Amino acid sequence: MPNQFGLDRFDFDDAYGKGENNLCSKDLKEFIEKNHLDLNLDGHFNPRLVFGILDYGSQYNQLVCRRVRDEGVYSEICSYKDAPEKLKQGNVIGIILTGGPHSVYESNSFSLPKEVLESKLPVLGICYGFQLLSYYLGGEVKGLNKSEFGNAKVNVINSDSLLLKNIPSSFISFMSHNDSVTKLPSGFIKNAETDSCPNAIASDETRKIYGVQFHPEVNDTEFGQQIIRNFLFEIVKADKNWTMENFIEDKVKEIKEKVKPDERVLLGLSGGVDSSVTAALLSKAIGKRLTCVFVNHGLLRKNEVKEVIDTFKNFDLDFKYVDASNDFYKALAGVTEPEEKRKIIGKLFVETFRKEADKLGKIDYLAQGTIYPDVVESGLGGNSAKIKSHHNVGGLPKDIGFKGLVEPLRYLFKDEVRRTGLSLGLPESLVFRQPFPGPGLGIRIIGEVTAEKVKIVQDADYILREEIKNAGYDKQISQYYAALTNMKTVGVQGDGRSYDYAVVIRAVKTIDFMTAKPFDLPYSILTRIADRIVDEVDHVSRVFFDYTSKPPATIEME
């Protein structure tokens, strides 16, 4: 069943922490129709009003969505191809067209559905979105003599636009384009320019159509959030009705309506933030009809098994512990390709669930801690390129063996998940736990996964986390961990020669996990961490620090 804004529930999916669907959408839709699955519990919050983000392939599409939600306005990403039918339903209040990799005048470029302009809704085009609006409305778009990438100074020529309220006469913006609008459509006013871009901002106040050539959603753009805020509240007249309390109230009501009094739900409880908040939310709705299965796949952090058991033993839910670590090690033997590792872990995880479900009797729904950020990276949120698979959806077999899926967090960003957890009464120590991927250490070990390598990473990561906390940086760094490279280097330990593994440390600062910068740890802390890892962890001769930003790198190793 597609949701209200054209997002197909299984095509736009993630599960148990992180995942991606390895079934083509046609096969999956046929399977759903054949088995008459009830898949209404996809986690979709159904507010009366929605802000639509039409995706044209931008790497920042999710960031645009995030910026709108920052202002208390609910938004969703949708492929431009799905927009026409859903716009007719009347609950979309405004539209943003994202950037994209194409040129509007090329034959394979993404088009502008006529329903967007026919809707008479306020529209803001960003980068490609601006060019697309201009092109379809009779303007001209041409390639630049010199592409414009990075920071550029925007000079405001005409500030007589609601979009520019409280915006200074000049500011720095982040540009990323090869083409530019060289002639504006009839009715548009030129508001700003840069040295290379003749039309950096333009507006048609009468039709409430606006365009910016730069990316206001990116942190490098000064006053970018103010521009988005102006569009939302000065132009669209949106209300601030997106809160976690409203989300919890609506979601609990929805779950109670969908999961009948005689039906049960099975959840894979990893102990991470996503699955824990999912458990708390489902527990609030259905109590002990929720069975949480904690599967130890052998890829958890040091002492994590005990910590998870101790944390959830007093929760109002049915808790089961399964040690399947040997099964996962066997399945991963000899496997080095990251995507294959993810899918093996996801598939085996679901199989483990099914075995446990058989022991428990009739289980109607499989619950998963899906969150929004992983979806777009899997290339399933709209028209953006796939960055990487996320294991849990990738591992879902056709015969999933359940009536349907329950994914109450699938449309939440990470900080929204944390706020939801706090609102549900979860302790801060759990809610602000370090992010941990569904495949666990399987994607923090480059190459083949073995029990020996897992122990190396567990011990190194434990030292890293201990030192970061002791130094008082644990709340300042968004994510940090130790990973194991697939190379060995020569070292000197004692009086002899060693030839052991190199560990890499990753520490980043980010707002939304869509972009990230390396955290500048003091040299004294880095050397202390490195010294301890080499001294205390067997089979490690060298420690590196990863200074790469996202993009081009991802936060996780694989």
Distance, CA of 189 to CA of 41 (rounded, Å) = 46
Residue whose C-alpha is closest to residue 424's, from 539, 553, 264, 317: 317
Residue 270 is labelled as binding a ligand: yes
The residue assigned the tokens 């004692």 is 494
DSSP 172-206: EEEEEEEEEEEEPPTT-EEEEE-SS-S-SEEEETT
Residue 275 is labelled as binding a ligand: yes
267: which 2 tokens? 């959840």
Distance, CA of 227 to CA of 171 (rounded, Å) = 12
Of the residues 148, 217, 416, 467, only one is catalytic, namely: 217
Residue 276 is labelled as binding a ligand: yes
**Contact at 8 Å (CB) between 394 and 343?**
yes
SS (H, E, C) 129-146: HHHHHHHHCCCEEEEEEE
The residue assigned the tokens 């990738």 is 394
**Contact at 8 Å (CB) between 252 and 281?**
yes
Residue 310 is labelled as binding a ligand: no
**Contact at 8 Å (CB) between 173 and 223?**
no
Q: For the range 26-32, what are the long-range contacts, defined as Cβ-Cβ under 8 Å and sequence gap of 24 or more? A: 27/398, 28/398, 31/398
For 84, 88, 267, 357, 499, the CA distances from 5, given in Å and listed in that order, are 9, 10, 27, 34, 56
The residue assigned the tokens 């458990």 is 279
**Contact at 8 Å (CB) between 439 and 345?**
yes
215 is catalytic: yes
127 is catalytic: yes
**Contact at 8 Å (CB) between 165 and 234?**
yes
Residue 123 is labelled as binding a ligand: no
Distance, CA of 253 to CA of 243 (rounded, Å) = 16
Q: Is 284 left (phi over 0), alpha (psi -120 to 50) or beta?
A: alpha
Query: Residue 160, SS3?
Result: coil
**Contact at 8 Å (CB) between 332 and 296?**
no
Of the residues 102, 177, 215, 391, only one is catalytic, namely: 215
Bond before 113 cis per omega within 30 degrees: no
Of the residues 127, 148, 222, 467, only one is catalytic, namely: 127
Catalytic (active-site) positions: 127, 215, 217
Binding site residue list: 270-276
Binding site residue list for ATP: 270-276
